[in-house]
Amino acid sequence: MYSTNPTIYTMITFKLLLKIVELLVYCATVNSVRFSIEKNDRIMFIGDSSTFQGSTTPHGFVNIFEEELKKQFGKATVFNAAINMATNEQIREKIIEGGAIKYYMPTKIIMVSGHDQFVNYTSTSLKTLRCEIESIMAAVVDIPVSLIFCSTLLYGEKVDGTNEMDEVVEDFVGMTQRVAKVYDAMFIDLYSKQHKYLETTNIDNLSSSILTNNGTALNAHGHALVATTLMEELGLNQGVTSDDTADNILVAKQRDALKRRQERVRIREFDLKQSGIHSTIVSAI
């Protein structure tokens, strides 16, 4: 039988309204702009140290991304114009307004927002930081090019929320996502992707060593995850079969973490059994 209690109906209606509000907020914040990489695209990476290192190390994510383009299209036109230790102002003045874009003539720009761009900020100065990010996007919008804006990367690998910069990083990621929506840029959330990966692999809650060397600088696995995420989001992850690809590196890493977890369970079960046997012997005595 159906209840005729008006209080129950009121509670149900209230819960439904809450769900509707949550859905509306989600739709308002999620960026729906999507781009895919095409054969004749000229791709330019911009950013600070994080992106700069994507080309200066053999396993860098820019190098992996470029190699995947060559596999799928037979060629690749990729430029890395990132500046080591760059501020937002330097990115805008030297790369966007300084002639690099006119020189390389890219069809798509991929900007990975790195640590150099926000490390000296706090949540209270987020408005200033937003103005700087907006000035970069506004400058790109004036050029006939598609902008793909990627969130910042990890600043510490702990998964329990105790990294020193967690609050600042999360505020920064949320802010850049909202700005990207305003300027019709595609937004790729690298930070959330990294964090989700660590939830299944960082079983010891380490501050570094899984995706980074020191909590910030990406190691080989970190670069592989960034490259894989970019390829997936931009429709480039089909047909990847080589043992050296980013996908297989990450799968191997996850498999190793699972083995360690299973081994811990076996050790714990063995200790419990031994404890039970010991208790039984003591009781008998």
Which H, E and C letters describe the chain, residue by residue? CCCCCHHHHHHHHHHHHHHHHHHHHHHHHCCCCCCCCCCCCEEEEEECHHHHHHHHCCCCHHHHHHHHHHHHHCCCEEEECCCCCCCHHHHHHHHHCCCHHHHHCCCEEEEECCHHHCCCCCHHHHHHHHHHHHHHHHHHHCCCCEEEEECCCCCCCCCCCCCCCHHHHHHHHHHHHHHHHHCCCEEECHHHHHHHHHHHHCCCCCCCCCCECCCCCECHHHHHHHHHHHHHHCCCCCCCCCCCCHHHHHHHHHHHHHHHHHHHHHHHHHHHHHHHHHHHHHHHC
- Which strands, in side-by-side order, build the sheet including 186-188? 77-80, 42-47, 108-112, 146-150, 186-188
Position 174 scores a pLDDT of 93
Per-residue pLDDT band at 34 (split at 50, 70, 90):
confident
pLDDT digits (tens, 9 = 90+) for 159-208: 999 999 898 899 999 999 999 999 999 999 999 999 999 999 998 999 99
Position 127 scores a pLDDT of 84
Q: What are phi and psi of 218, to 5 degrees?
A: -65, 140
pLDDT digits (tens, 9 = 90+) for 83-136: 998 888 899 998 888 888 889 999 999 999 888 877 766 555 788 889 999 999
Q: pTM of the entire structure?
A: 0.75
What would the mean pLDDT of 5-25 be, rounded to a whole number? 52
The amino acid at 115: H
Say yes or no to pLDDT of 15 above 60: no
CATH topology for 33-255?
A: Rossmann fold (3.40.50)
pLDDT over 90 percentage in the chain: 50
Beta-strand pair 146-150/108-112: parallel
Say yes or no to pLDDT of 158 above 90: yes
What would the mean pLDDT of 213-242 be, rounded to a whole number? 84
